[in-house]
Amino acid sequence: KRAMYPVLSLAVFWLLPLALTLEEDSPLDCRPRRSVPYRSENAQRFHEEGVFNYSTMLLREDLDLLVLGAREAVYALELKDISKKRTSVKWEVTPKQKDDCRNKGKDPEMDCKNYIRILHKTEDDRMYVCGTNAFDPECDYMSFADGTLTLENKREDGKGKCPFDPFQRYASIMFENNLYSATSMNFLGSEPVLMRSGLASIRTEFKSSWLHEPNFVSMTQMPEAMTSTIGDDDKVYLFFSETAVECDCYNKLVVSRVARVCKGDLGGLRTLQKKWTSFLKARMDCPVLESQLPYIIQDTYRWCDPQQDWKDCLFYAVFTPQSDTSDLSAVCAYRVSDISKVFAEGKYKTPVTVETSFVKWVMYSGDVPVPRPGACIDNEARKEGITETLGLPDRTLQFIKDRPLMDQVIQPIGQKPLLVRRGATFTRIVVNQVQGADGEKYKVMFVGTEEGTLLKAVNYDGEMFIIEEVQLFKNTEPIKILKFSNVTGQLYAGSDSGAAQVPLATCERSSSCMDCVLSRDPYCGWDKAARKCTLLSSSQGELIQSVKDGDASLCPDADPVKPLNKSIWPMGNLKLDCPPPSNMAKTNWERDGNHLTPADRLQFLQDGLLILNASQSDAGQYRCLSVERSKTSEHTTTVVEYQISIHPAGSGDGKAIYPQAQTDGPSVAGLQAAIGLLVVSLLALLTWNFYKGHLPLPWNCGKKKGEQSLDQEGLNSHVSYQQAPRSAQEEDKPVVVGRDNGTSNNNHSRGEAAVGAAEEENNASGVNLPSLQFIDDESEI
């Protein structure tokens, strides 16, 4: 057995590099097939000078408007082209409000502004708008008529509706003219609340078992009463993360949650007066392979098929790690029916006091009161004579007051993420369904990131595939909001610097059939008749598409590539451009039909080939081949061809890298002016130094050392370095000006500068250094 230990050690040593290699090619490193850099034509954009934080959006498709909330302004933009502004209205804080905010310790230029945070349509076609208002939130009604946005100045207190802090996460929806909001009730942000504002206002308890340091993410409503067989009520779902009260651990552990309340909840009669009687919450999990700590929810999107029941709706959620040791982000999908079942039938968690005052949360195994705690009023309750929550017995209400947490953890569909990616952190998500050429329906995920990019991804039967990544904003800034319009079929994104509008697909980015098919974009296909990559929805002809396999062998033979003529001097350098058509493709080079390999004079670049010190042997026909593997096979296509000739006259027309001197133009004139100015400055500097005596005059340079005189009084007050007496031991010790005591980071440079100055002064009799010291103790250097 002892002989086996060295063998096992060697096996681990040799298998470790293999494991690292496998990890590099794992699905966790899923990268986009195409990366599209920032260009002005990539999207329609809107930005107004001096205005920031475009992070609140309301789609008014009935008015063909995108209502955009920013810092101290609300804009009405054309829905089909947001670069066109219809109108806007300012909502700025007063000087007094700004002063009050500053006196409370907030930044007057960042915090003490009015950040628009709530924008909802009301049933009378007006809009309800709220802003942070210099840490004193306020709400108002806004109307759009005759091409003008108007604030109605019907100001309402925004506490509990809108956050105080403009950088704090919150969530809200308007449902049947009632505002449901999740934010903080106070200036310090220490009283989190889920509240319904309206005729029957109601909120959560201020208890850590209800909400414990939450970070609110999103909110949505589900019409569950519509087809309910038990007379159930509509629900409002809230997604958030919070510090786990149930965790038996030393450090704080943050977990993801989903909570829900019933639309008809009016609170209890004695217990839980004007508090939710239907507030229940459960933990959500999105298991990522290498994670030990749970991932934290950042955004959700409710996707429903209009032809299906609400039970078939899905919640897509974006998750990110809570530790800095991981750079993975994930998307998980959950069935609404699974979440609803946990709340309707699941076990509860209950706090149990252990030892002294330590509280441990365990599964409740005792009797559950009837009606069921946290349930909506349904047919069973009505049979008992309970028609509203005010009639619920105190035993049911006390139970839910103490035990709002469910025991069961909600797992995603398939028990794993739909998409995992290493790199830029995910921030927002929108999901759209499209029917492919094969008749099957595919759900395409559009994911915003911290770097201002938009990912377009599909999960094909468990295979994660990112079609493309587009840089929407010039600066690397987070996408803070992402919306989709069914009317225009466009996506709308907002960030600190502006808003952007992009289509669901840009098929024209693929110029060949192979590129179009290998993109595996369910929106796009190769039109045989038109010979271009086009939208399925706008084409009438026969299309080639293979989204699951990327089978480019279905494509007809491509037209031959016309060679480009290039020439170069002997011993010159030439770069042949060949950008790979995708991030998945590898490029190979051929010369006169023979495979090329890298050499000293042939350097393979990411976007081309570099020929160095060209000779006659380098002439010939060069071909750049793109090789890309799909699920079916490898596909090779010619990207570009070059015919290279060596011309002694150097009349090449390629991208030859020749040194060229510019003999005219504004740059030469500028250089001449700069040199002239430099000469004049140098002469002036020399004259000033001669005048001040810092430099010796030319006729004094020939004097010998012995001819120089210095009176004793001058020696005491102004020691000349070259005449200072030095012992033999002092000859090689450094000279410094003053002492630094190690407080500067430039100790070496100061010492070297002083020594250098001393050496120069050996040749000049007029240079004196004040307070020069010899260091006898080398530890003082």
Q: What is the pLDDT of residues 194-235, one digit of tens each?
A: 999 988 899 999 999 999 999 999 999 999 998 888 999 999
Facing residues of 470 across strands?
36, 454
- Predicted local distance difference test score (pLDDT) of residue 680: 75
CATH code, domain with 646: 2.60.40.10
The reply to whether 750 and 649 lie within a common domain is: no
State which of 132, 158, 184 marks the end of a domain: 158
Give the pTM: 0.80
The reply to whether 639 and 726 lie within a common domain is: no
For residues 564 and 26, give the distance between their C-alpha atoms in angstroms, rounded to a whole number: 39
The reply to whether 63 and 151 lie within a common domain is: yes
- Predicted local distance difference test score (pLDDT) of residue 299: 98
> Which of 305-314, 531-540, 762-771 is predicted least confidently?
762-771
Tell me the three state secondary structure of residue 416. coil
The reply to whether 55 and 148 lie within a common domain is: yes
For residues 272 and 404, give the distance between their C-alpha atoms in angstroms, rounded to a whole number: 13
DSSP symbols for 479-540: --EEEEETTTTEEEEE-SS-EEEEES--GGG--SHHHHHHTT-TTEEEETTTTEEEEGGG--
pLDDT digits (tens, 9 = 90+) for 334-373: 999 999 999 999 999 999 988 766 788 999 999 999 999 9
Q: Which residue has the higher pLDDT, 757 or 63?
A: 63
125-129, 303-307, 689-693 — most confident range:
125-129
The number of domains in the chain is 3
Is 503 part of a structural domain of the chain?
Answer: no
Q: What are the tokens at 723?
A: 């005449």
Is 413 part of a structural domain of the chain?
Answer: no
- Which residue type is seen at 266? L
Question: pLDDT band at 323, cuts 50/70/90?
Answer: confident
- Which residue type is seen at 133? N
Question: pLDDT band at 251, cuts 50/70/90?
Answer: confident
Q: Count other C-beta atoms under 10 Å from residue 523's C-beta.
A: 25
Is 56 part of a structural domain of the chain?
Answer: yes
The reply to whether 145 and 62 lie within a common domain is: yes
- Which residue type is seen at 394? D
> Which of 89-93, 518-522, 613-617 is predicted least confidently?
613-617
The reply to whether 57 and 142 lie within a common domain is: yes
224 and 209 Cβ atoms separated by less than 8 Å: no
Is 445 part of a structural domain of the chain?
Answer: no
Q: What are the tokens at 407?
A: 């025991």
State yes or no: pLDDT of 268 exceeds 50.
yes
Which residue in this structure is represented by tokens 């001097």? Answer: 569
DSSP structure class, residue 761: H
Question: pLDDT band at 753, cuts 50/70/90?
Answer: very low
Is 112 part of a structural domain of the chain?
Answer: yes
- Predicted local distance difference test score (pLDDT) of residue 684: 78
Is 257 part of a structural domain of the chain?
Answer: no
The reply to whether 50 and 141 lie within a common domain is: yes
Tell me the three state secondary structure of residue 614. coil
The contacts of residue 619 (CB under 8 Å, 6+ apart) are 644, 645, 646
> Which of 69-78, 131-140, 284-293, 576-585 is predicted least confidently?
284-293
Query: Dihedral (C-alpha) 586, 418, 302, 143: value to the nearest 10 degrees?
Result: -30
Is 464 part of a structural domain of the chain?
Answer: no
- Predicted local distance difference test score (pLDDT) of residue 692: 67
State which of 612, 628, 656 marks the end of a domain: 656
For residues 67 and 82, give the distance between their C-alpha atoms in angstroms, rounded to a whole number: 10
The reply to whether 724 and 651 lie within a common domain is: no
- Predicted local distance difference test score (pLDDT) of residue 128: 97
The reply to whether 646 and 722 lie within a common domain is: no
The reply to whether 642 and 722 lie within a common domain is: no
- Predicted local distance difference test score (pLDDT) of residue 730: 38
DSSP structure class, residue 91: -
Is 148 part of a structural domain of the chain?
Answer: yes
- CA distances, 446 to each of 86, 95, 469, 536, 711 (Å): 28, 42, 10, 19, 87
Q: Which residue has the higher pLDDT, 8 or 365?
A: 365
- Predicted local distance difference test score (pLDDT) of residue 294: 93
Q: Which residue has the higher pLDDT, 165 or 773?
A: 165
517 and 543 Cβ atoms separated by less than 8 Å: no
The reply to whether 735 and 633 lie within a common domain is: no
State yes or no: pLDDT of 324 exceeds 90.
no
310 and 338 Cβ atoms separated by less than 8 Å: no
Residue range of the domain that includes 628? 564-656
For residues 677 and 396, give the distance between their C-alpha atoms in angstroms, rounded to a whole number: 90
State which of 116, 134, 158 marks the end of a domain: 158
pLDDT digits (tens, 9 = 90+) for 718-746: 333 333 333 333 333 333 333 343 333 34
* Cis status, amide bond into 163, omega within 30 of 0: no
pLDDT digits (tens, 9 = 90+) for 393-452: 999 999 999 999 999 999 999 999 999 999 899 999 999 999 999 999 999 999 999 999
The reply to whether 639 and 719 lie within a common domain is: no
Tell me the three state secondary structure of residue 336. helix
